[in-house]
Amino acid sequence: MTAEATGNGEKDIVILGIESSCDETAAAVVRNGREVLSNVISSQIALHTLYGGVVPESASRKPIEKINPVIKEALEKADCELEDLDAIAVTYGPGLVGALLVGVAEAKAICYAKNIPLVGVHHIEGHISANYIEHKDLEPPFICMVASGGHSHLVLVKDYGEYEIIGRTHDDAAGEAFDKVARAIGLGYPGGPKVDALAKTGNPQAIAFLRAKIEDSLYDFSFSGLKSAVLNYLNQCKMRGEEPNRADVAASFQQSVVDVLVQHTVLAAKNYGISKVAIAGGVASNSTLRSAMTEACEKEQLSFYYPSPVFCTDNAAMIGVAGYYEYKKGVRHGLDLNAVPNLKLGQR
Ligand code: KG4
Ligand code: ZN
């Protein structure tokens, strides 16, 4: 790749993003923050399916085998060499420490060898930034609802790299609830996409599962009560000797999660006077959530943004994008950067 100049005379900024916080080992090359030149993901879903979920020890060991081939492929697909990179952006938290360390150590080694800047990125900042890839016009401020296997946050994105968490889950993350309910109705791992697919053949009004509200906190979430309600329902069916309609259970559970996510997000946008809404994280690829949020935003005259499914679930392009905006702000990390399993959003 040759160093090109953009139309406005500025030199292109090419960033290699690396992501290894949990399930996936991923690398991507991103130009000028919004153009994805390559996006390579090596998934451990097959391995986790074998055990019915993420086993931290194996989730940590796999990235060591994958990281070099994944980076090589990302560079090749982008027609790029290490020498073309302006910086490396790497997820350094939150996540599984063993998995995070693989990406962080690799990024530090390349930055040291090539004498280029290192930018550590928060995983959730990456998820939020995935929205910039396909929406070239999207600029902060906006409200972003981030729902994944480990997080359910309502975030006010004030500016690039400036976040205020205005709502969070008090117990399970939304994706975690999808995974647990999927297991209970015999769908296996990963639960979200399987519940999404089965729910299409079910009736979302068949079972009146609760819509959890947290007293005194308008924007917070709670999903463990809903998960227990589903388990209780399944037990009651069993005790009565009845076979539950799994599609109805999936559709009714999913509707309950979607209703709460949509209501809280739209309420936050209205109360904060923000006209733009985005979603992010694995659960953002849920088809019912996407259509319900589209409808609610249309009704409230809010602009709605969402990434393609491949940029919703864990990937490194989103880390490259977030890294670009951090890099532009002058954020640089030293070679003493460590993995921080419980890193807080906005912490540097
Ligand atoms: O963002 P992600 O890939 O990893 C984390 O940062 O956790 O999210 C994975 C989560 C899993 O819990 C998975 O079941 C859920 O996202 N998920 C979905 C869908 N696709 C993935 N949940 C609901 N509907 C989907 N279509
Ligand atoms: Zn994630």
> What confidence score (pLDDT) does residue 1 get?
61
Question: How many Å apart are CA 250 and CA 106, to the nearest integer?
Answer: 41
The response to whether residue 160 sits with its C-beta less than 6 Å from ligand 1 reads: no
Distance CA(290)–CA(191), nearest Å, equals 17
Rounded to the nearest angstrom, the distance between the alpha carbon of 181 and the centre of ligand 1 is: 13
Can you tell me the mean pLDDT for 299-313? 98
Which two tokens mark 21?
Answer: 């916080």
Amino acid 3: pLDDT:
47
Q: Is the pLDDT of residue 7 over 80?
A: no
Query: Is the C-beta atom of 149 inside 6 A of ligand 1?
Result: yes
> Does the beta carbon of 313 lie inside 6 Å of ligand 1?
yes
User: pTM for this one?
Assistant: 0.94
Q: Which atom of ligand 1 is nearest to the CA of 150?
A: 7
Amino acid occupying residue 63: P
Evaluate: CB of 44 within 6 angstroms of ligand 1: no
The pLDDT of residue 347 is above 90: no
Write the pLDDT tens digit of every residue in 85-99.
Answer: 999 999 999 999 999
Does 278 have pLDDT greater than 90?
Answer: yes
Enclosing H/E stretch for 122: strand 118-122
Torsion of CA 129, 132, 137, 143, to 10 degrees: -30
**Whole-angstrom Cα distance, residue 39 to residue 41?**
7
Residue with tokens 């194996």: 58
CA 340 to each of CA 97, 98, 100: distance values in angstroms, whole numbers, following the listed order: 7, 10, 8
Q: Taking residues 20-48, what's their average pLDDT?
A: 88
**Measured distance CA(279)–CA(307) in Å, rounded:** 8
Q: pLDDT over 90 for what percent of the chain?
A: 84
Is 152 near ligand 1, meaning CB less than 6 Å away? no
In short, whether 148's Cβ falls inside 6 Å of ligand 1 is yes
- Cα of 24 vs centre of ligand 2, distance in Å, is 9
Share of the chain above pLDDT 70, in %: 92
The pLDDT value recorded for residue 215 is 78
**Mutate which of 54, 148, 290 to test ligand 1's pocket (most atoms within 8 Å of Cβ)?**
148
* Predicted local confidence at residue 272, as pLDDT: 98
300 three-class SS: coil
